[in-house]
Homo-oligomer: A and B are copies of this chain.
Amino acid sequence: MKPRLNIVTLGVKSLQISRDFYKKALGWEPAAGSDENIVFFHHGGIVLALYPLDKLAEDAEVPPERSGFSGVTLAINQDSKDAVETVFNKAVENGAKVLVEPRETLWGGYDAYFADPDGHSWEITWAPFWEYDEQGSLKM
């Protein structure tokens, strides 16, 4: 079994606040296995998990302190500029912090950025050269 990324876990201050945020802002429903300790979202072949930040740091045996940029961005691709705006606006209406308003990009696409309640950075993006399958996975 070739090593590959299967799960992305975001450390969060409040599981309840983050679960509500992702449900309202992006429409994501917690999957089976989610409970008061952890939340899973199924995204095509991978899992996005929410887990308390202090417990996540404890699990990785690193100090939980963090400041500034996480150094990681997470992108949601859409199939049109309008869809980028729709997803971005709904997120902002539901508490996302605006980082970058929708804009034309230098590489010919269209994107916007917001931060979730813990400062995790999300990019909503459209690119003319990307195609998707029926699951919304990038065709590669």
What is the interface residue range for chain A against chain B?
A: 35 or more
Please tell me if the beta carbons of A5 and B66 are within 8 angstroms of each other in the complex.
no
> Interface code A119-137, partner B: CB below 8 Å = 1, 0 otherwise?
1110111000000110111
Q: How far is B84's CA from A56's CA once the two chains are assembled, in angstroms?
A: 19
A44-B46, A69-B62 given; A7·B136 CB < 8 A: no
Known pairs A8-B72, A59-B100; list 11 more (Cβ under 8 Å). Answer: A2-B136, A3-B28, A3-B76, A7-B77, A7-B138, A44-B137, A46-B46, A57-B69, A60-B113, A65-B68, A71-B118
A interface residues with partner B (beta carbon < 8 Å): 1-11, 26-28, 31, 42-48, 53, 56-57, 59-79, 83, 87, 99-100, 113, 115, 118-121, 123-125, 132-133, 135-138, 140
